[in-house]
């Protein structure tokens, strides 16, 4: 019931948003749906209830390890959206609000999906419902980003559909009865055909990896994150990519049980290091601070892939990293949106001295920068240390070395651009429109995200840490 | 039955090459439409006893892939008054060679993948792989939005052929996947194509080059 409720609450709110007559009060539906959703998610986290065998939709331990984060992030984004949409009163927000709520419903569905096919259907629908969010700004650049998102994302989905069929067929060929729930797939241990499994893994990893945005399938990311409003960037970077990462983890558990972890480990380590290296290089040369966040997201997806490849300890650390990275990205996207609006530009050539123009947003942006580059005591530092330790413990010093080197290069790239736009003298002569100043509505949400990132670093709740460990154990050794 | 099935899959694979060789948008759309029509019939050949659902699915697929989507694309083409040249990034002859190479590669690849007895004499798997690779090739090698949509359709047709392998065991999954993909995907693509057209007065995705790095 609760599993269904997590999907139904935002879905009903989404339909209500379509029917809601008043433009000014419609954004309030976002927090109105987000609160009960978060309460429901936390209730499931605290009191899991008995596991439901053979269910297609269930709040299992893996969903419990990440869904509360997506819910929490959505609540913060919803509060920001109320303030943001007030500033954009000239735009009709009917589709935007409905699509945002629809995205939460479909992400909840995908994260809880216990069936290979249901997972794909939810991922597809979540991608499609995001499309109107991307071109909210109606600029030529926004349409270009939307087109790339559709074409790259659509291709990724077609690949993951083929991978879904491939894994299903591999199970039939190995004597399965056509039950495609993850539990039944991972219990079916005998006589899988390795070529089929390899093909299915490659297609599914390429497909869901495109949604995650790991290199070299990351090309939609800089455009989408650069052009979409900050709320959408937050939900893509903290919600959509999390959904795709969980999909990869679930598929990996099936493949590992069938033919051992050697192949998945190799491919994930390769993709992860490639993502980190490419992202670090692009971070060194980009001049646009919203695209900067996209490359940072590619880097962190690489970190997740590496964590997932490093056994139970690494997977638990990666789930921890999903939380710390999600919260930090939220703070960065919200403040980047503020700086973009107030500063009136998006590259280091157009804006400068933003600490004089928007002191609060600039301060939070710089703090977020230190948080995301793993400065203690923020959460990212601790989750990355755990992944590093997992790499060293599993006897992979080369991976650990590459990991640290990429982090250092990324640190230089990020700080270079952030201080270029924050420091110095303002480049625009005209002062910003008075209503665009830093207000509580647009400062509160990123501040809350940063506090959450700090809290996750200093005192992560034992309940969460246990859930991450249990989820990693479940994925590593399905009963 | 199997012979007819293989013949139709062979025709579909031939249409891949036709789409790759098309120098004008209408013939490219026609190739994708014809391929969809051919594929729509296949479920009827795979199953001996026809259920209502099976016939409805075959008819729905043929209708959507063969008529509705192509007519949407044609309308977009007329509304945007795009000139009909395809304008390839990779020329037609190299594309055709790559497509033929993909088909051979698919045959070789599928040889190492063991099949269930009922599929061992069909060309479903090599046909699916070849069609998917050719679709991906079209997306990458063409510049106009409509020709990229055609490539996406061909890629989807490959996934559809792949899905037919699972038709007997998990019909619901196959149908849900395919129908959702078609309706929602094309609906959204249709809208965005329309918006791009209004914004840029053209459907050449090379105009979409402001975002690069």
DSSP one-letter string for A298-357 = HHHHHHHHHHHHSHHHHHHHHHHHHHHHHHHHHHHHHHHHHHHHHH---BTTT---HHHH
List the 175-194 stretch of B: residues with Cβ below 8 A of A. Answer: 176-177, 180-181, 184-185, 188-189, 192
- Whose CA is closest to B134, among B116, B111, B162, B157? B157
Which of A103, A118, A154, A280 best tests the B interface by mutation, with the highest count of B CBs <10 A?
Answer: A154
Averaging pLDDT over each range in A199-203, A259-263, A434-438, which range is the top one? A199-203
* pLDDT tens by residue, A6-56: 999 999 999 999 999 988 899 999 999 999 999 999 999 999 888 877 788
Cβ contacts below 8 Å, chain A against chain B, sum to 127
Residues of chain B positioned with their CB less than 8 A from the CB of A146? 192, 195
Q: Answer yes or no: is pLDDT of A155 > 50.
A: yes
End-to-end CA distance of chain A: 24
**What's the Cα-to-Cα distance from A35 to each of A64, B63, B207, rounded to whole Å?**
17, 44, 43
pLDDT of the residue at A478: 55
pLDDT of the residue at B116: 85
| Per-residue DSSP letter, A60 | -
B53 has a chain A CB within 8 A of its CB? no
Q: Answer yes or no: is pLDDT of A295 > 50.
A: yes
Q: Answer yes or no: is pLDDT of B132 > 70.
A: yes
**Pairwise CA distance, residues B60 & B52, whole Å:** 12
The C-alpha angle with vertex A380 and arms to A379 and A384, in degrees rounded to 5, equals 120
**Pairwise CA distance, residues B162 & B126, whole Å:** 9
Q: CB distance B185–A155 less than 8 Å?
A: no
Q: What is the mean pLDDT of residues A334-356?
A: 86
| Residues paired with residue A347 on neighbouring β-strands, in sequence order | A288
Q: Are A363 and A423 in contact (CB under 8 A)?
A: no
A284 pLDDT band, cuts 50/70/90, is very high
pLDDT of the residue at B55: 85
pLDDT of the residue at A78: 96
How is residue A38 written in tokens?
């978060």
Q: Answer yes or no: is pLDDT of A479 > 50.
A: no
pLDDT of the residue at A464: 94
Query: Min CA distance, B7 vs chain A (Å)?
Result: 23
**Pairwise CA distance, residues A429 & A435, whole Å:** 18
**Pairwise CA distance, residues A199 & A208, whole Å:** 14
Q: CB distance A195–B112 less than 8 Å?
A: yes
B143 pLDDT band, cuts 50/70/90, is confident
Residues of chain A positioned with their CB less than 8 A from the CB of B173? 116-117, 164, 168, 180
Task: Report the b/e string of A88-109 with b at 16+ CB within 10 A.
Answer: beeeebeebbbbbbbbbbbbbb
SS3 per residue for A349-367: CCCCCHHHHCHHHHHHHHH
Q: CB distance B170–A286 less than 8 Å?
A: no
* pLDDT tens by residue, A303-335: 999 999 998 999 999 999 999 999 999 999 999
Q: Which of B174, B200, B211 sits opposite A226 (nearest CB)?
A: B211
Query: Min CA distance, B184 vs chain A (Å)?
Result: 7
For residue A196, give the chain B residue with the closest CA.
Answer: B113
**What's the Cα-to-Cα distance from A51 to each of A54, A93, A232, A392, B69, rounded to whole Å?**
10, 40, 33, 35, 44
The C-alpha angle with vertex A139 and arms to A133 and A140, in degrees rounded to 5, equals 115
End-to-end CA distance of chain B: 53
Question: Alpha helix locations (H) across chain B?
Answer: 2-21, 25-46, 52-63, 69-79, 92-111, 124-141, 145-164, 171-200
* pLDDT tens by residue, B191-201: 666 666 666 66
pLDDT of the residue at B208: 66
Q: A437 burial class (0-12, 13-18, 19+ CB within 10 angstroms)? A: middle
| Per-residue DSSP letter, B206 | G
Q: Which of A124, A195, A285 sits opposite B181 (nearest CB)?
A: A124
For residue B145, give the chain A residue with the closest CA.
Answer: A147
Neighbours of A22 (CB within 10 A): 7
Q: CB distance B188–A165 less than 8 Å?
A: no
* pLDDT tens by residue, A50-102: 887 778 899 999 999 999 999 999 999 999 999 999 988 888 899 999 999 99
List the 58-117 stretch of B: residues with Cβ below 8 A of A. Answer: 109, 112-116
SS3 state of residue B204: strand
Contacts of residue B108, Cβ cutoff 8 Å, sequence gap at least 6: none
Can you give the residue ranges of every domain in chain A? 2-476
Q: What is the mean pLDDT of residues A184-189?
A: 81
Q: Answer yes or no: is pLDDT of A274 > 90.
A: yes
pLDDT of the residue at A430: 63
Query: Min CA distance, A182 vs chain B (Å)?
Result: 14
SS3 state of residue A209: helix
pLDDT of the residue at A191: 81
* pLDDT tens by residue, A386-441: 999 999 999 999 999 999 999 999 999 999 999 888 887 777 656 667 677 778 88
Q: What is the mean pLDDT of residues A202-223?
A: 92
Q: Which of A120, A199, A227 sits opposite B177 (nearest CB)?
A: A120
Q: What is the mean pLDDT of residues A345-369?
A: 88
Q: A263 burial class (0-12, 13-18, 19+ CB within 10 angstroms)? A: middle
| Residues paired with residue B144 on neighbouring β-strands, in sequence order | B204
Q: Which of A117, A140, A155 sits opposite B199 (nearest CB)?
A: A140
pLDDT of the residue at B204: 64
pLDDT of the residue at B133: 92
Residues of chain A positioned with their CB less than 8 A from the CB of B169? 168, 172, 177-178
**Pairwise CA distance, residues A231 & A107, whole Å:** 15
**What's the Cα-to-Cα distance from B1 to each of A260, A434, B7, B8, B44, rounded to whole Å?**
40, 74, 10, 11, 10
Contacts of residue A146, Cβ cutoff 8 Å, sequence gap at least 6: A131, A134, A135, A224, A227, B192, B195
Q: What is the mean pLDDT of residues A375-389?
A: 93
pLDDT of the residue at A326: 95
**Pairwise CA distance, residues A173 & A181, whole Å:** 16
pLDDT of the residue at A5: 92
Tell me the ipTM for this assembly: 0.88
Contacts of residue A103, Cβ cutoff 8 Å, sequence gap at least 6: A126, A129, A130, A133, A235, A239, A240
Q: Answer yes or no: is pLDDT of B20 > 80.
A: yes
**What's the Cα-to-Cα distance from A246 to each of A189, A237, A304, rounded to whole Å?**
22, 14, 10
Q: Which long-range contacts (CB under 8 A, 24 or more apart) does A25-31 make?
A: A26/A93, A26/A94, A26/A97, A27/A81, A27/A82, A27/A85, A27/A86, A27/A93, A27/A97, A28/A82, A29/A97, A29/A101, A30/A77, A30/A78, A30/A81, A30/A82, A30/A97, A30/A100, A30/A101, A31/A75, A31/A78, A31/A79, A31/A82
For residue B196, give the chain A residue with the closest CA.
Answer: A143
User: Please, what sign has the CA dihedral across residues A154, A30, A445, A62?
Assistant: negative
Find how far residue A198's CA is from the centre of its chain. 26
Q: Which of B155, B162, B213 sits opposite A165 (nearest CB)?
A: B162
**Pairwise CA distance, residues A147 & B205, whole Å:** 9
**What's the Cα-to-Cα distance from A105 to each of A67, A198, A421, B1, rounded to whole Å?**
11, 32, 37, 44
How is residue A155 written in tokens?
């291709």
pLDDT of the residue at A300: 96
Q: CB distance A161–B211 less than 8 Å?
A: no
B182 pLDDT band, cuts 50/70/90, is low
Q: What is the mean pLDDT of residues A450-470?
A: 93
**What's the Cα-to-Cα distance from A11 to each of A44, A101, A131, A320, B191, rounded to whole Å?**
19, 7, 17, 28, 23
For residue A174, give the chain B residue with the closest CA.
Answer: B116
Q: CB distance A166–B162 less than 8 Å?
A: yes
Q: If you average pLDDT over every residue of chain B, what do you get?
A: 81
B212 has a chain A CB within 8 A of its CB? no
**Pairwise CA distance, residues A218 & B60, whole Å:** 34
List the 143-172 stretch of B: residues with Cβ below 8 A of A. Answer: 145, 148, 152, 155-156, 158-159, 162-163, 165-166, 169-170, 172
Q: If you average pLDDT over every residue of chain A, what do you get?
A: 91
Q: Which of B148, B166, B176 sits opposite A121 (nearest CB)?
A: B176
């Amino acid at each position: 019931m609760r599993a269904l409720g997590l999907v139904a609450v935002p879905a009903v709110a989404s339909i209500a948003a379509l029917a809601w007559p008043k433009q000014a009060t419609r954004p309030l539906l976002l927090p109105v749906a987000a609160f009960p959703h978060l309460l429901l998610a936390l209730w499931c986290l605290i009191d899991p209830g008995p596991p439901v065998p053979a269910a297609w939709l269930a709040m299992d331990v893996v969903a419990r390890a990440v869904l509360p984060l997506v819910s929490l992030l959505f609540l913060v984004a919803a509060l920001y959206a109320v303030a943001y949409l007030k500033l954009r009163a000239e735009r009709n927000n009917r589709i935007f609000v409905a699509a945002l709520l629809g995205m939460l419903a479909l992400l909840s569905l995908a994260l809880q999906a216990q069936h290979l096919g249901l997972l794909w259907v939810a991922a597809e629908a979540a991608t499609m419902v995001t499309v109107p969010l991307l071109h909210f700004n109606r600029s030529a650049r926004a349409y270009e980003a939307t087109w790339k998102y559709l074409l790259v994302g659509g291709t990724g989905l077609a690949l993951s559909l083929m991978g879904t069929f491939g894994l299903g067929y591999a199970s039939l060929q190995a004597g399965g009865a056509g039950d495609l729930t993850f539990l039944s797939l991972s219990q079916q241990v005998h006589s899988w055909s390795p070529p089929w499994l390899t093909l299915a893994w490659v297609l599914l990893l390429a497909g869901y990896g495109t949604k995650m945005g790991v290199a070299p399938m990351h090309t939609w990311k800089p455009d989408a994150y650069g052009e979409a409003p900050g709320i959408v960037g937050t939900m893509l970077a903290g919600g959509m990519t999390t959904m795709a990462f969980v999909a990869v983890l679930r598929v990996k558990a099936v493949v590992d049980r069938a033919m051992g972890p050697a192949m998945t480990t190799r491919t994930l380590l390769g993709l992860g290091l490639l993502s980190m290296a490419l992202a670090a290089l692009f971070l060194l040369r980009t001049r646009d601070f919203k695209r900067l966040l996209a490359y940072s997201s590619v880097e962190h997806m690489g970190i997740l892939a590496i964590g997932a490849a490093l056994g139970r300890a690494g997977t638990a650390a990666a789930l921890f990293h999903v939380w710390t990275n999600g919260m930090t990205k939220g703070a960065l996207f919200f403040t980047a949106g503020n700086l973009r609006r107030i500063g009136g530009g998006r590259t280091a050539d157009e804006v400068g001295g933003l600490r004089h123009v928007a002191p609060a947003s600039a301060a939070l942006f710089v703090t977020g920068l230190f948080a995301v580059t793993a400065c203690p005591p923020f959460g990212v530092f601790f989750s990355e240390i755990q992944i590093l330790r997992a790499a060293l413990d599993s006897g992979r010093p080369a991976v650990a070395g590459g990991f640290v080197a990429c982090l250092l290069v990324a640190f230089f790239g990020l700080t270079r651009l952030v201080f270029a736009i924050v420091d110095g003298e303002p480049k625009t002569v005209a002062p910003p429109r008075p209503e665009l100043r830093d207000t509580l509505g647009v400062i509160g949400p990123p501040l809350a995200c940063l506090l959450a990132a700090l809290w996750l670093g200093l005192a992560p709740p034992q309940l969460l840490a246990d859930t991450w460990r249990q989820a990693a154990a479940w994925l590593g050794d399905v009963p | 039955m199997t012979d007819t099935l293989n013949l139709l899959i062979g025709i579909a694979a031939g249409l891949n090459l036709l789409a790759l060789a098309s120098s004008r948008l209408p013939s490219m759309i026609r190739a994708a439409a014809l391929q969809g029509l051919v594929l729509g019939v296949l479920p009827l050949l795979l199953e001996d006893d026809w259920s209502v659902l099976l016939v409805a699915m075959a008819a729905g697929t043929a209708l959507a892939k063969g008529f509705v989507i192509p007519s949407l694309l044609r309308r977009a083409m007329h509304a945007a008054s795009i000139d009909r040249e395809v304008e390839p990034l990779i020329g037609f002859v190299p594309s055709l060679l790559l497509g033929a190479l993909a088909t051979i590669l698919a045959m070789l690849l599928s040889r190492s993948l063991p099949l269930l007895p009922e599929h061992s004499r069909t060309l479903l798997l090599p046909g699916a792989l070849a069609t998917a690779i050719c679709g991906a090739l079209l997306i990458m090698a063409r510049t106009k939005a409509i020709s990229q949509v055609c490539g996406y359709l061909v890629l989807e047709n490959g996934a559809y052929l792949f899905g037919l392998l699972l038709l007997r065991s998990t019909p619901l999954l196959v149908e849900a996947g395919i129908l959702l993909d078609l309706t929602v995907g094309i609906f959204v693509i249709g809208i965005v194509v329309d918006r791009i057209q209004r914004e840029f007065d053209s459907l050449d995705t090379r105009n979409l080059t402001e975002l690069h790095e």
